[in-house]
Structure 1
């Protein structure tokens, strides 16, 4: 059971990192579209 909890925590951490990257990318796209 502990292994499953660890795995889930890792997946959630990875997902959070992906979300942060997505937000950064969206921000960059917005900046770029403003300067066009």
Structure 2
């Protein structure tokens, strides 16, 4: 659901922001940030 609802607005607002999203099932979601 996140990909469908948030990815396009995120990339539209921040076109140079590097985002990698991978879909899989039965995996605990994680977020890694580096800046």
Do both proteins adopt the same fold according to a TM-score greater than 0.5, normalized to the shorter chain? no
User: TM-score, normalising length from structure 2?
Assistant: 0.29
User: TM-score, normalising length from structure 1?
Assistant: 0.29
Q: Considering only CA atoms, is the larger Rg found in Structure 1 or Structure 2?
A: 1
